[in-house]
Amino acid sequence: MQTTDPHSREAAAAVAGMAETYGWTPSPGDVVRCEPPFVGGITTGVVRATNGTYCLVSIGEDTLAYYPRELWWTGERVEG
């Protein structure tokens, strides 16, 4: 998601810097890349919930559970 709001860009840069330094922890709204089971390939989804062990990721009309280590953050977020 591209924005021209300087505050949003500053916040995104801070999040990226913290992830680079401390490692990324999935949170609701993060756009991630993942491998859906039985389909193959890599697709994009949105983290909807986390519980410390699993992340629920919406991919199209499906919601699947992943370990955080199975997700790659795209650096983007969505709201809602």
Per-residue model confidence (pLDDT) at position 45: 96
Which of the pair, 80 or 53, is modelled with greater confidence? 53
Per-residue model confidence (pLDDT) at position 66: 96
Per-residue model confidence (pLDDT) at position 68: 92
Q: What is the pLDDT of residues 6-65, one digit of tens each?
A: 777 787 777 777 666 766 789 999 999 999 988 789 999 999 999 989 999 999 999 999
Output the DSSP codes for 30-75. Answer: EEEEE--TTT-S-EEEEEEEE-SS-EEEEETTEEEEE-GGG-EEEE
Does the pLDDT at position 1 exceed 90?
Answer: no
